Amino acid sequence: MSETPLARIRNIGITAHIDAGKTTTTERILYYTGVSYKIGEVHEGNTTTDYMEQERERGITITSAAVTCEWKGNRINIIDTPGHIDFNIEVNRSLRVLDGAVFIIEGVAGVQPQSETNWRLADRYNVPRVIFINKLDRTGADFFRAFATLKDKLDIVALPLQLPIGIEDKFEGVVDLIEMKAIIWEGGELGAKYHDAPIPADLLEQAKEYRQNLLDTALSVDDAAMEEYFEHGDVGIETLKRCIKAGTITGVFRPVLCGTAFKNKGVQPLLDAVVDYLPSPVDVPGIKIAAEEGEDETAERRRIKADPAAPFAGLAFKIINDKYGTLTFVRVYSGTLRSGDSVLNTTKSHRERIGRMFQMHADKRAEIKEVSAGDIAAFVGLKDTGTGDTLAANEDPVVLERMAFPVPVIDISVEPRNKESIEKMSLGLQKLASEDPSLRLRTDQETGQTILSGMGELHLEIIIDRLKREYNVEANIGAPQVAYRETISRPHTEIYTHKKQSGGSGQYAEVKIVFEPLDRNSGVVFENKVVGGSVPKEYIPAVEKGIRVQAESGVLAGFPTVDFKYTLVDGKYHDVDSSALAFEIAAKACFRDGMKKAAPIILEPVMDVEITTPQDHVGDVVGDINRRRGMIQNQESSGSTVIVRAHVPLKEMFGYISDLRSMTKGRASFTMQFHHYDPVPRNIAEEIMAKSA
Amino acid sequence: MQEPRLHWMRGQAIEEAGAARALEWIGLDDAGEPIARVVRILGPVSAGWRHYRAVALDTEARVVQLRPPPPEGAFWLACVGGRVVGRAALPLQAVRRVEAALGD
């Protein structure tokens, strides 16, 4: 696919809080780069990247969509991501494979919670970013206030490359601080026509001050540029752009541009900034290979550099199942691959044959015969490759750094309405889960119900809707439940002997297991410390499996047990009567008995809640949060509104939106996202246990 | 943009991420005499059991402890002769402090 030189490829994501204008900006980009002949609008349900029925009906982005465009001789692969926290997995996996990102910040509200969450994700993956302060045409928009939130909330060195000319309905263009000129949009041809002009006199002094700040900050990353400055009292545009690019890639500062995508102003300079300051695949240090087991995750390891002639290495980051089969999206980091080639799935240690390959344009596809380093493409024909798996050449079977997935916090039960739907539902759910690593499926061992765990009510609602529309499954859905977890709070050692004689060969296994609590988010860890063969090697996996299976159903209320370590320290076996099954049964029983003695507790998800309310309702809102067992973190005034931040148990947040609306006459709004798991108070734990009994 | 009055040249350097970066910029007068410098503040550093919050190199590349440590966000010292005339976050800002001090 890559006829474009690597240095002229940009793989970027567009990310922001919900409704900040990601899809609207993407639409303008596609129009100005000539990919679309008309601009789609989110509110009209006809945008390119929101192609799912649910996206068009609801006016929100649910799944990330890849599109490609050309700008001034450069190929830009763009992934438009969702803003709603329930679909954060899409942002997560996109940022993981992209070389750069455009962060869109709302010009009225500034940095909002989801922008902060996505920013931290981009930090985790070291993604260079440019910031676009959008919606400057809106009533209440203020570039400088939004700019100030960048420092306050993200703690970054934000570097303005532009200043707005006019604001709200008077916004007409920007001052370009690099070339010290004004860029004015003419209003016609959907923003495609604009012209350069002298900087308006009333902005000249301010522009000079900001340009000096630009020079001070940008040149500090390049000694040769400093020397040029000392010699001439200024630097050339190319030197300045080189410095801005270097600072952007290293993250020393973050360039800031501005405009209003909806009113078609500011998007073309943003495209210039993407090309000028965000890295091509050869400008980044390369992707790290994964740490070996037991190796320090943070240690420096070998990196795979973008080189089409090197052995192939790519990362599968997204799966889509549609009527034509399974499409696996792959970011190619090195090498070249042709359709029909075979590669190793090094994560799962098996071979995969590449059938057909496509360049994706949202839901449309164009077949290609070859992909190489720097490309993003979709493969058909992979049998068992999931999100986060590495595909690599035989001669260098590397495993690339894995992806981290968010923790689901809400459960619902689903049951097929009729016999015909049983198989269809199982197949449909498996396919949906294979597409979405933030969706988990399990079977409740006591009720036999299928439990879906997801990121929020909206996430699960969309999954059920897709199950119905795409797989034609009629199902009975239980009310959303909090995804409680169980854990232990003190160590305990348990010995269990499983002995059964029922004619013929019997069953015999004895295990001695130490159960210990771990820190939150540590998962379940197994260690084998058996010495002298008291439990033969071939039975160890059965013990590990027995506990893992049983941990799915905790001893208090049947919720999955997490954050504990179990160490097999001893045991006994019988030459004739022992088997893997006997050891698995013994391990399960040992878990059931041992956990009860290790001070088990129930954990509940606690959400980070941000409520924006008019000043006169703050008292009601805060009082209500306290009644919901919430802990107020802080309050911040912004004009006539107050932003209240609190940590509130998810259990208390069901139906909150209607209570908040009635409390504030519909004038307040809120967002929430998962923050951490905390033990539930004793009275609530008893309530939960009574309900499960 | 106001042109610098002094002639500035790279001074001592340190290797960072495989490249030499200036730790010091030296300001020369028209006769080529070094009369000012801006120098990067380093730290915190540990030497044996001693711990320094902020240090800088003097003109002879000796490590000098800065007491009291500079305020948050000040990474460069502006010096005229042996006297500190200002602190700044960025080297060009420190250069302007030096030039302002010389103009006073």
Are A269 and A416 in the same domain? Answer: no
Distance from CA of B85 to the nearest CA of A (A): 19
Render A490-531 in DSSP notation, one character per residue: S-EEEEEEEEE--SSS-EEEEEEEEEEE--TT--EEEEE---
> Which tokens belong to A476?
């009975």
The verdict on A233 touching B (C-beta cutoff 8 Å) is: yes
Q: Which residues of B touch A (CB under 8 A)?
A: 1-4, 7-10, 20-22, 25, 90-93
- The DSSP H or E segment spanning A396 is none
Rounded-to-integer distance, Cα A434 and Cα A384, Å: 10
Rounded-to-integer distance, Cα B27 and Cα A226, Å: 13
Q: Name the residue facing B4 among A215, A223, A230 (closest C-beta).
A: A230
Distance from CA of B9 to the nearest CA of A (A): 7
Q: Which of A78-82, A267-271, A390-394 has the lowest mean pLDDT?
A: A78-82
Q: A99: domain CATH number?
A: 3.40.50.300
In this structure, are residues A281 and A266 in contact, taking their beta carbons and an 8 Å threshold?
A: no
> Which tokens belong to A149?
């939130």
Sequence-distant (≥ 6) Cβ neighbours of residue B101 within 8 angstroms: B78, B80, B85, B86
Are A62 and A211 in the same domain? Answer: yes
Q: Is the pLDDT of residue A44 over 80?
A: no
Q: What is the mean pLDDT of chain B?
A: 88
The verdict on A223 touching B (C-beta cutoff 8 Å) is: yes
Rounded-to-integer distance, Cα A556 and Cα A563, Å: 15
With H, G, I as helix, E, B as strand and everything else as coil, classify residue B26. Answer: strand
- Alpha-carbon torsion angle A361, A126, A136, A218, nearest 10: -120
> Residue A61, Cβ neighbours under 10 Å: how many?
25
Name the band, by pLDDT with cuts 50, 70 and 90, for residue B36.
very high
CA end-to-end distance (rounded Å), chain A: 59
What letter does residue A43 receive in the DSSP assignment?
G
Q: Classify strands A129-134 and A254-258 as parallel, antiparallel or unpaired.
A: parallel
Are A294 and A338 in the same domain? Answer: yes
Closest-CA residue to A65 (of A53, A50, A75, A76): A50
Distance from CA of A398 to the nearest CA of B (A): 25
> Residue B22, Cβ neighbours under 10 Å: how many?
20
Measured on CA atoms in the order A493, A498, A499, A505, is the torsion positive or negative?
negative
pLDDT at A188: 65
Taking CB atoms and an 8 Å cutoff, what residues of chain A touch B14?
none
Q: List, for residues A596-654, the tens digit of each pLDDT value.
A: 999 999 999 999 898 888 888 999 999 999 999 999 998 887 667 788 999 999 999 88
B75: closest chain A residue by CA: A220
Are A374 and A476 in the same domain? Answer: no
User: How many domains, chain A?
Assistant: 5
Percent of chain A with pLDDT over 70: 98
In this structure, are residues A213 and A163 in contact, taking their beta carbons and an 8 Å threshold?
A: no
Measured on CA atoms in the order A106, A111, A117, A118, is the torsion positive or negative?
positive
Percent of chain A with pLDDT over 90: 57
In this structure, are residues A129 and A100 in contact, taking their beta carbons and an 8 Å threshold?
A: yes
Residue A433: phi and psi, rounded to 5, are: -70, -30
Taking CB atoms and an 8 Å cutoff, what residues of chain B touch A229?
92
Beta partners for residue A326, in sequence order: A321
Domain final position from A231, A253, A277: A277
Residue with the larger pLDDT of the pair B37 and A43: B37
Contact state of A216 with B3 under an 8 Å Cβ cutoff = no
In a domain, A78, yes or no: yes
Are A574 and A442 in the same domain? Answer: no
Taking CB atoms and an 8 Å cutoff, what residues of chain B touch A234?
1
Q: Is the pLDDT of residue A189 over 60?
A: yes
Q: Name the residue facing B92 among A208, A211, A219 (closest C-beta).
A: A219
Q: List, for residues A557-568, the tens digit of each pLDDT value.
A: 989 999 999 999
Size of interface A-B (CB pairs under 8 A): 37
Domain final position from A461, A481, A501: A481
B9: closest chain A residue by CA: A227
pLDDT at A324: 75
Taking CB atoms and an 8 Å cutoff, what residues of chain A touch B8?
226-227, 230
Q: List, for residues A134-166, the tens digit of each pLDDT value.
A: 999 999 999 999 999 999 888 899 999 999 999
In a domain, A625, yes or no: yes
Are A577 and A525 in the same domain? Answer: yes
Contact state of B8 with A220 under an 8 Å Cβ cutoff = no
Q: What is the mean pLDDT of chain A?
A: 90
Are A166 and A26 in the same domain? Answer: yes
Contact state of A226 with B1 under an 8 Å Cβ cutoff = no
Q: List, for residues A488-544, the tens digit of each pLDDT value.
A: 999 999 999 998 876 667 889 999 999 999 998 888 999 999 988 899 999 999 999
> Which tokens belong to A533?
């063969």
Distance from CA of B29 to the nearest CA of A (A): 13
Distance from CA of A255 to the nearest CA of B (A): 17
The verdict on A226 touching B (C-beta cutoff 8 Å) is: yes
pLDDT at A271: 97
CB burial of residue A375 (10 Å; 0-12, 13-18, 19+): buried
ipTM for the predicted complex comes to 0.92
Provide the chain A residues 202-221 that lie in CB contact (below 8 A) with chain B. Answer: 208, 211-212, 215-217, 219-220
Sequence-distant (≥ 6) Cβ neighbours of residue A178 within 8 angstroms: A161, A214, A237, A240, A241, A244
The verdict on A566 touching B (C-beta cutoff 8 Å) is: no
In the block, residue with structure tokens 């075979």: A342
pLDDT at A446: 67
pLDDT at B4: 65
Q: Where on the phi/psi map is residue A180: left (φ > 0), alpha (ψ -120 to 50), or beta?
A: left
Domain final position from A598, A633, A657: A598
In a domain, A1, yes or no: no
Are A609 and A587 in the same domain? Answer: no
In a domain, A398, yes or no: no
Q: Is the pLDDT of residue B56 over 70?
A: yes
What letter does residue A654 receive in the DSSP assignment?
T
Rounded-to-integer distance, Cα A171 and Cα A412, Å: 47
Average the pLDDT over A320-338 and give the result. Answer: 89
Are A120 and A147 in the same domain? Answer: yes
The verdict on A227 touching B (C-beta cutoff 8 Å) is: yes
Query: Which residue in A220, A221, A237, A239 has the most chain B C-beta atoms within 10 A of its own C-beta, making it the best mutation to test that interface?
Result: A220
> Which tokens belong to A211?
């340009």
Catalogue the long-range contacts made by A673-676 (C-beta closer than 8 Å, 24 or more residues apart): A673/A85, A673/A88, A673/A113, A673/A114, A673/A117, A673/A607, A673/A608, A674/A85, A674/A406, A674/A407, A674/A409, A674/A455, A674/A605, A674/A607, A674/A608, A674/A650, A675/A606, A675/A607, A675/A608, A675/A647, A676/A520, A676/A605, A676/A606
Contact state of B22 with A226 under an 8 Å Cβ cutoff = yes
Rounded-to-integer distance, Cα A341 and Cα A359, Å: 17
Closest-CA residue to A108 (of A640, A658, A644): A640
Contact state of A226 with B25 under an 8 Å Cβ cutoff = yes
pLDDT at B104: 64
Q: Is the pLDDT of residue A63 over 80?
A: no
Q: Where on the phi/psi map is residue B96: left (φ > 0), alpha (ψ -120 to 50), or beta?
A: alpha
Render A568-609 in DSSP notation, one character per residue: EEEEE--TTT--HHHHHHHHHHHHHHHHHTS-EEEEEEEEEE
Rounded-to-integer distance, Cα A451 and Cα A464, Å: 12
Closest-CA residue to A135 (of A24, A29, A15, A269): A24
Are A334 and A463 in the same domain? Answer: no
Domain span holding position A143: 6-277
Distance from CA of B33 to the nearest CA of A (A): 16
For the stretch A141-169, what's the b/e string if a residue is b when 16 or more beta carbons lie within 10 angstroms of its beta carbon? bbbebbbebbeebbebebbbbbbbbbbbe
Q: Is the pLDDT of residue A87 over 60?
A: yes
In this structure, are residues A102 and A130 in contact, taking their beta carbons and an 8 Å threshold?
A: yes
Taking CB atoms and an 8 Å cutoff, what residues of chain A touch B7?
230
Contact state of B9 with A226 under an 8 Å Cβ cutoff = no
pLDDT at B1: 44
- Residue type for A424, please? K
In this structure, are residues A76 and A70 in contact, taking their beta carbons and an 8 Å threshold?
A: yes
Q: A609: domain CATH number?
A: 3.30.70.240
Q: Name the residue facing A216 among B10, B21, B93 (closest C-beta).
A: B93
In a domain, A83, yes or no: yes
In this structure, are residues A460 and A440 in contact, taking their beta carbons and an 8 Å threshold?
A: no
The verdict on A230 touching B (C-beta cutoff 8 Å) is: yes
Are A251 and A321 in the same domain? Answer: no
Q: Name the residue facing A220 among B1, B3, B90 (closest C-beta).
A: B90
Q: A438: domain CATH number?
A: 3.30.70.870
A217: closest chain B residue by CA: B90
Are A435 and A532 in the same domain? Answer: no
Residue with the larger pLDDT of the pair A82 and A281: A281
For the stretch A574-608, what's the b/e string if a residue is b when 16 or more beta carbons lie within 10 angstroms of its beta carbon? eeebbbbebbbbbbbbbbeebbeebebbbbbbbbb
